[in-house]
Amino acid sequence: MKITYHGHSVLSIVMKDGQKLLFDPYISENILTDLQADKVETDWILVTHGHSDHIGDMIPIAKRNDATIISIVEICKFAERNGVKKTHGMNIGGKFDFPFGRVKMVHAQHSSGYEVDGQMLYMGEAAGFILQAEGKTIYHAGDTSNFGDMALFGDAFDIDIAFLPIGDNFTMGPHEAASAAKRLKAKQVVPIHYNTFPVIKQDPEEFVKLLPDTIGKVMSVGETIEI
């Protein structure tokens, strides 16, 4: 599979059979991204939680591509009410085998709401995703603090790459993320969710220095790795 980082928490994955996945499609208002929302092509959209910097352009992208949204039930219902035809609702602890691989929805310590007409809508619990496909395991933590149960993820899964937020203020910061990385025991750790706004300004290279040698990797926007 080919994994590309697109700034903030946005990832795209292309499988060997050509299926395309898009995580947390915050594009139109994302000053760091290399993508254009009206040109993105995807078959599946995975959304970790309901904040605007993660839902982003989920609805128009899903409609234009006839893509399936995979998320917690409340977000899927929100998408359906807004004209999206294909969704797959999940909840914390559940897993499902999709045509591209297995997705497990795991806990994240964070809030989840979406503002519409000045009112905040409840969007279910925040989550992370563990994707198992093509013999590899990818963990997208979404927005979260550092919490002890990450050790359970590390014990239950042989994680090839973990994408962890380091921005602080809204999520864990670099030191907490480094602590989480140790429990996850991932072969490679990539920082996400930083530098998009002044309040989450971080130096990702300093985060990498907190990790054991060779496991940390800072991906530039638009960079692709193949595993």
The three state secondary structure string of 28-77 is CCCCCCCCCCCCCCCCEEECCCCCHHHHCCHHHHHHHHCCEEEEEHHHHH
Q: For residue 102, give the 3-state DSSP assignment.
A: strand
CATH of the domain at 106: 3.60.15.10
The structure tokens 């395991």 sit at 137
Burial of 220 (0-12, 13-18, 19+ CB in 10 A): exposed
Q: For the packed helices 58-65 and 73-81, what is the interaxial angle rounded to 10 degrees?
A: 70
The pLDDT confidence band at residue 183, using thresholds 50, 70 and 90, is very high
Mean per-residue pLDDT of the chain: 98
DSSP 179: H
CA distances from 112 to 9, 126, 134, 187, 201 (A): 15, 6, 31, 29, 22
Q: For residue 181, give the 3-state DSSP assignment.
A: helix
pTM exceeds 0.95 for this model: yes
> Per the structure, how many domains does the chain have?
1
114-132 confidence digits (pLDDT tens): 999 999 999 999 999 999 9
- The count of other CB atoms within 10 Å of the CB of residue 140 is 25
Domain residues for the domain of 150 are: 2-226
The whole-angstrom separation of Cα 100 and Cα 44 is 9
Residues 80/87, Cβ–Cβ less than 8 Å: yes
**What is the model's pLDDT at position 11?**
98
Rounded to 10 degrees, the C-alpha dihedral 84/142/96/183 comes to 180
Burial of 90 (0-12, 13-18, 19+ CB in 10 A): buried
**What is the model's pLDDT at position 28?**
98
The pLDDT confidence band at residue 223, using thresholds 50, 70 and 90, is very high
Partnered with residue 11 across adjacent β-strands are: 5, 23
Burial of 148 (0-12, 13-18, 19+ CB in 10 A): exposed
- What percentage of the chain reaches a pLDDT higher than 70? 100
**What is the model's pLDDT at position 147?**
97
